[in-house]
A and B are shown apart, each in its own frame.
Chain A
Amino acid sequence: MATSGSNGGADGVVRRDFLTIAAGAFTAVGVAAAIWPFVHQMNPSADVLALSSTEVDISKVQAGQAITVLWRGKPVFVRHRTEAEIDAARRDDTASLPDPQKDADRVKKAEWLITLGVCTHLGCVPLAFQGDYKGWFCPCHGSHYDTSGRIRKGPAPRNLEVPQYAFLNDTRVKIG
């Protein structure tokens, strides 16, 4: 900083430099603070966040059936698996998987498989009980999922995502 009056020290730095930098820095902080509300307003609003969980009654879903429920505007598959489907899923734990994961890590109760109904390729909704592995088949670009919702064949990179959920009792599930 300037030590010898307003017109400069030995190193050529003058008081005006300090004023310029201080004013510039203050302006930059102010502009950044002013921009933030314009960005943040695009994030989910309070009413959207308030709808971020949904409860499902699963008492009427028989073994071998699946239902699709809406959560956060996206489909969620709730599938009541048969013994054969569970066995097939567990048997394939050791198969060559693009996204290796054990079936036991993807379920809380073996007969209930709950995943997002969104193909991990480009976001279409896969069709249940179809494809080479009788899990799901995505009609958009031909991804095959098995009965654990794991990707087995096709362009999708990852298994069907398992959302956060909890069994409130034997017949009710809270998703989200």
Chain B
Amino acid sequence: MSGIHSKFNKGIIGWIDYRLPIFTILDDMVGTGYPTPRNLNYWWNFGSLAGLCLVIQIVTGIVLAMHYTPHVDLAFASVEHIMRDVNYGWLLRYVHANGASMFFVVVYIHIFRGLYFGSYKSPREVLWFLGIIIFLLMMATAFMGYVLPWGQMSFWGATVITNLFSAIPVVGDYIVTLLWGGFSVDNPTLNRFFSLHYLLPFAIAAVVVLHILALHQHGSNNPLGIDANGPQDKIPFHPYYTVKDLFGIAVFLIFFSALVFYAPNMLGEVDNYIEANPLVTPAHIVPEWYFLPFYAILRSIPDKLFGVLAMFGSILLLFVLPWLDTSRVRSARFRPVFKVFFYVFIADCVLLLVCGGKPPEGIWLILGRIGTAYYFIHFLILLPVIGFWERPLPLPKSISEPVLGGGKPAAAVAAPAKE
């Protein structure tokens, strides 16, 4: 749309929009000019919440960087300086640390939303890829951020994770030395991690722009997983979904505030309040909770190289998901068999999360191995087979049909929409 024909043709806004069409562009992105399926439920709030989390992390992070010192002798003390001396430093750090956890909560729900409603299927595969890339960048950023306070968990987490690369045949050790800038995790490692921890969120923001661009190409998927037939199936993003997103943000901030103000260290590890000591490894070393399922997969495989491959493979597998899932029906609402296995898969992920936090011995090791096996079976065997074998329920004729009251299947579908 050019400024001439847009609705922004009056006054100062019109004058600017004629020369720089930012109002038209914004209106087409998140305004009245962006038609959105009329039946989106609250699971669709988590995209905007993830965006909010990124903004919160960047803003608090920039502020924390004003007070933090990336040096092995000073880093730990500078974090305590932030906690005790800097005005509201405790608040900014707790928001940043818990904000990372909330970011992962939101993104995990966002991903499972996509898995349930088949948002990765044609024509949204690239949108899905970009989401996985964002997820990988988030994990790298969160890992390096966790190293910065230079506590015991920071140091030993960094040691373990960087050592993953030593599993690569032939060049592994050289790569690890390259990552460290030395022969162990030390000051050069801390410096580069700080640099990259500052850089990567902006890389994430750039991929988010592409993610949104890809989203707008075909518009949001919806709980029915069917394409819109026409304008009667859509409503403008503004005011309907701006208000809904804002409401979601308000509810989200209640949970976030509860965590920050009443249990700011609940998700952290006490050992990270002990300064890094290269001579002593903590008795029980675990990553942050959001890495635990992948950590469980790593430990389940009794071989260094294959353990690392399985861990990375568990995420990279998502890239081929659009082809592993052979069903042409998107939404799990019309896939009775897939729906059952979806919930089993969630239970499996929770099982892996629990196993990842326990010592790798006895029953936990066995459960971890079962969980790991099932994770791969779900994607590599169950999804392709279910797609062929399953007989999906009849799809509604249009998005508006169940809403406006059509036949019997419509009523059956409309009921779970109120969950």
Please give the residue numbers on chain A whose beta carbons come within 8 Å of chain B beta carbons, in ascending order: 36-38, 40-43, 45-48
B7 at the interface (CB under 8 A from A): no
Interchain CB contact under 8 A, A40 and B81 = no
B397 at the interface (CB under 8 A from A): no
Rounded to whole Å, the gap between the CB of A49 and the closest CB of chain B is 9
Which residues of chain B have C-beta atoms less than 8 A from A47's C-beta?
A: 81, 85
Which residues of chain A have C-beta atoms less than 8 A from B63's C-beta?
A: 38, 41
Look across to chain B and name the residue whose beta carbon is closest to the beta carbon of A43: B87
A37 to B261 alpha-carbon distance, docked (Å): 14
A36 to B89 alpha-carbon distance, docked (Å): 12
Contact partner of B81 among A37, A38, A45, CB < 8 A? A45
A40 to B91 alpha-carbon distance, docked (Å): 12
Q: A42-B66, A45-B81, A47-B81 are in contact. Are A37 and B87 (CB under 8 A)?
A: yes
A38 to B89 alpha-carbon distance, docked (Å): 9
**A–B pairs, 18, beta carbons within 8 Å:** A37-B92, A38-B63, A38-B92, A40-B87, A40-B88, A41-B63, A41-B66, A41-B67, A41-B87, A41-B88, A41-B92, A42-B66, A43-B87, A45-B67, A45-B85, A45-B86, A46-B85, A46-B86
B84 at the interface (CB under 8 A from A): yes
Interface size on B, residues (CB 8 A): 13
Which residues of chain B have C-beta atoms less than 8 A from A43's C-beta?
A: 87
B274 at the interface (CB under 8 A from A): no
A38 to B88 alpha-carbon distance, docked (Å): 8
A46 to B67 alpha-carbon distance, docked (Å): 13
Known: A36-B88, A38-B59, A47-B85. 17 other contacts (CB 8 A): A38-B63, A38-B88, A38-B92, A41-B63, A41-B66, A41-B67, A41-B87, A41-B89, A42-B66, A45-B67, A45-B86, A45-B87, A45-B89, A46-B84, A46-B86, A46-B87, A47-B81
Look across to chain A and name the residue whose beta carbon is closest to the beta carbon of B59: A38
Which residues of chain A have C-beta atoms less than 8 A from B67's C-beta?
A: 41, 45
A63 to B345 alpha-carbon distance, docked (Å): 86
Interchain CB contact under 8 A, A41 and B59 = no
A61 to B279 alpha-carbon distance, docked (Å): 52
A45 to B89 alpha-carbon distance, docked (Å): 9
A36 to B92 alpha-carbon distance, docked (Å): 11
Which residues of chain B have C-beta atoms less than 8 A from A42's C-beta?
A: 66
Rounded to whole Å, the gap between the CB of B84 and the closest CB of chain A is 7
Number of A-B contacts (CB under 8 A): 34
Rounded to whole Å, the gap between the CB of A14 and the closest CB of chain B is 16
Rounded to whole Å, the gap between the CB of A57 and the closest CB of chain B is 29
Question: In this complex, which of A40, A43, A45, A47 has the most chain B Cβ atoms within 10 angstroms of its Cβ?
Answer: A45
Which residues of chain B have C-beta atoms less than 8 A from A41's C-beta?
A: 63, 66-67, 86-89, 92
Which residues of chain A have C-beta atoms less than 8 A from B87's C-beta?
A: 37, 40-41, 43, 45-46
Using a CB-CB cutoff of 8 Å, which residues 82-102 of chain B contact chain A?
84-89, 91-92
A42 to B62 alpha-carbon distance, docked (Å): 12
Q: Which 5 A-B pairs have the closest CB atoms?
A: A37-B88, A46-B85, A45-B85, A47-B85, A40-B87
Interchain CB contact under 8 A, B91 and A37 = yes
Rounded to whole Å, the gap between the CB of A17 and the closest CB of chain B is 15
Which residues of chain B have C-beta atoms less than 8 A from A45's C-beta?
A: 67, 81, 85-87, 89
Binary CB contact string for chain B from 64 to 87 against chain A (1 if under 8 A, 0 otherwise): 001100000000000001001111
Rounded to whole Å, the gap between the CB of A40 and the closest CB of chain B is 4
Which residues of chain A have C-beta atoms less than 8 A from B66's C-beta?
A: 41-42
Rounded to whole Å, the gap between the CB of A23 and the closest CB of chain B is 9
A36 to B88 alpha-carbon distance, docked (Å): 9
Which residues of chain A have C-beta atoms less than 8 A from B86's C-beta?
A: 41, 45-46
A43 to B63 alpha-carbon distance, docked (Å): 12
Rounded to whole Å, the gap between the CB of A153 and the closest CB of chain B is 41
Which residues of chain B have C-beta atoms less than 8 A from A40's C-beta?
A: 87-88
A48 to B86 alpha-carbon distance, docked (Å): 9
Look across to chain B and name the residue whose beta carbon is closest to the beta carbon of A42: B66
Which residues of chain A have C-beta atoms less than 8 A from B91's C-beta?
A: 37
Look across to chain B and name the residue whose beta carbon is closest to the beta carbon of A44: B87
Rounded to whole Å, the gap between the CB of A78 and the closest CB of chain B is 29
Look across to chain A and name the residue whose beta carbon is closest to the beta carbon of B88: A37
A41 to B66 alpha-carbon distance, docked (Å): 9
Which residues of chain A have C-beta atoms less than 8 A from B85's C-beta?
A: 45-48
Look across to chain B and name the residue whose beta carbon is closest to the beta carbon of A37: B88
Which residues of chain B have C-beta atoms less than 8 A from A37's C-beta?
A: 87-88, 91-92
Rounded to whole Å, the gap between the CB of A27 and the closest CB of chain B is 8
Question: In this complex, which of B66, B67, B87, B91 has the most chain A Cβ atoms within 10 angstroms of its Cβ?
Answer: B87
Which residues of chain B have C-beta atoms less than 8 A from A38's C-beta?
A: 59, 63, 88, 92
A48 to B85 alpha-carbon distance, docked (Å): 8
A38 to B61 alpha-carbon distance, docked (Å): 11
Rounded to whole Å, the gap between the CB of B394 and the closest CB of chain A is 40
Rounded to whole Å, the gap between the CB of B348 and the closest CB of chain A is 39
Look across to chain A and name the residue whose beta carbon is closest to the beta carbon of B62: A38
A47 to B89 alpha-carbon distance, docked (Å): 13
A43 to B87 alpha-carbon distance, docked (Å): 7
Rounded to whole Å, the gap between the CB of A137 and the closest CB of chain B is 37
